[in-house]
Amino acid sequence: MEKLLEIKNLSANYFAQDIKIPALRSVNIDLKKGETIAIAGESGCGKSTLALAVLKLIEFPEGEVTGDSVEFKIEKNSIDLLRLKEEEMRKIRGKDISLVVQDPYSSLNPVIRINKQLAEIYRIHHQTCEDIDIDGISKKYLKMVHLPEPQKILFSYPHQLSGGMLQRVNIAAALINNPDILISDEPTSSLDVTVQKKIMDMFFELKDNFNLSQIFISHDLNLISAFADRVYIMYAGRVVEEGKTADIFTSPAHPYTIALLEALPHLNAPGLDLKSIPGEVPAPESIGIGCAFAARCSHSRDICFNSLPELKKINDNHFTRCIKR
């Protein structure tokens, strides 16, 4: 399958009080046409930073994005997003590549009606004449995300809607320009469990019915196992393992992945003792030269602290960064 997005050696740093915080470190990720990849890992591992870095939403003085390239295939061309000027990047964001974030309240303006906001998102990317029925188009997308009474929602203010409804509006907004790539950053994490399930059902529907390619960021491995074609496990700003979903879940290779899976509650085996991972994800600025997981790893040896393990191949799709392999 053709690669739609090829991220090469991408890094991101934040700047805070004169220190450089290397939150994303030389990450290589690719996404094929029609594929859903998941980015997993504990909180603080750099998942959100990756999403922001791809869309170049980290800028001086808050931080910087560096790296070799982020190749995006658009029609017959390939463009390097890393080299694009902000003006060009703005044409891609929300049109060719859309982002849905965790907090449903953060993306919409609370004092503007939904119809105006959706129309604005549509208009930025279309040379529309005045008489086009943008409300009609918006309604179509609100229906697509299973919002009841789209007409009523269209004329509501964000504060009149529940978190779950608002997240559906955000997803409709992300889809309204027919993007090639949808990046979702923990899109259901802030919602009630019952609402989460309904929104995930909709994500499954989107996957089946549209030719979308998706980057799905989540710390919920149960969700990922059902939803993604391939998985990238991130730890302390790096990808430590990648592989087809089945391989990651049946033959995990990195001690971090194994630890994450052992900490996973099994729906069919309640009461089973869960192992928690000792220690915490280190702060990016405190990470040394070796494997960042070494301090929490029961297999670590001196060498793990002193040099970064190379990425080793397990099969054509399955790779890990651990000397144990």
Q: Is residue 195 involved in binding ligand ADP (CB under 6 A)? A: no
Is residue 43 a contact point for ligand ADP (CB under 6 A)? Answer: yes
Q: Which residue is nearest to Mg ion (CB)?
A: 48
> Count of CB atoms within 10 A of residue 294's CB?
20
Q: In the beta sheet, which residues pair with residue 20?
A: 15
49 lies in the site for Mg ion, by CB under 5 A: no
Which listed range, 15-23, 27-35, 130-138, 312-320, lies at the site for ligand ADP (CB under 6 A)? 15-23
Angle at the Cα of 87 (from 86 to 90), degrees rounded to 5?
A: 80
Q: How far apart are CA 110 and CA 321, in angstroms?
A: 45
Phi/psi of residue 197, nearest 5 degrees = -60, -45
3-state secondary structure of 32: strand
**Of 186, 297, 183, nearest to 235 (Cα)?**
297
Provide the β-strand partners of residue 244.
Answer: 230
Mark residues 131-160: x for contact with Mg ion by CB under 5 A, - for none: ------------------------------
Q: Is 163 in the site for ligand ADP (CB under 6 A)?
A: no
Instruction: Kindly report the length of the chain.
Output: 325
Position 256 contacts ligand ADP (CB under 6 A):
no
Q: Any contact of residue 151 with ligand ADP (CB under 6 A)? A: no
Q: Whole-number minimum distance, CB 99 to ligand ADP, in Å?
A: 13
- Please say which residue, 46 or 187, places its beta carbon nearer to ligand ADP: 46
- Report the C-alpha gap between 82 and 84 in whole angstroms: 6
Q: What is the 3-state secondary structure (H, E, C) of 110-177?
A: CCCCHHHHHHHHHHHCCCCCCCCCHHHHHHHHHHHCCCCCHHHHHCCCHHHCCHHHHHHHHHHHHHCC
Measure the CA–CA gap between 125 and 120, rounded to whole angstroms.
9
- What is the per-residue binding string for ligand ADP in 259-298, x denoting contact by CB under 6 A? ------------------------xx--------------
Q: Using CB under 5 A, which of 11, 13, 36, 48 touches Mg ion? A: 48
In whole angstroms, how close is the CB of 217 to Mg ion at the nearest point?
7
Alpha-carbon distance of 248 to 254, in angstroms, equals 9
> Contact at 8 Å (CB) between 39 and 234?
yes
Out of 4, 5, 13, 14, the only residue in the binding site for ligand ADP (CB under 6 A) is 14
Q: Smallest distance, Å, CB 208 to ligand ADP?
A: 27
> Among Mg ion, ligand ADP, none, what binds residue 94 when CB lies within 5 to 8 Å by partner kind?
none
Nearer to ligand ADP, 49 or 107 (CB): 49
Nearest approach in angstroms of CB 113 to ligand ADP is 31
Residue 21 binds which entry of ligand ADP, Mg ion, none, with Cβ cut-offs from 5 to 8 Å by kind?
ligand ADP
Q: Least distance in Å: CB of 217 to ligand ADP?
A: 7
User: What dihedral do alpha carbons 230, 236, 240, 245 form, nearest 10°?
Assistant: -20
Interface residue with ligand ADP among 13, 36, 49, 188 (CB under 6 A) is 49
What are 73's strand-pairing partners? 78
Stretch that binds ligand ADP, among 13-21, 74-82, 106-114, 137-145 (CB under 6 A): 13-21
By CB under 6 A, residue 179 contacts ligand ADP:
no
Residue 16 touches ligand ADP, criterion: CB under 6 A: yes
- What gap in Å lies between CA 304 and CA 192, rounded to an integer? 40
- Residues found near Mg ion in the complex (CB under 5 A): 47-48
* Footprint of ligand ADP (CB under 6 A): 14, 16, 21, 23, 41, 43-49, 62, 283-284
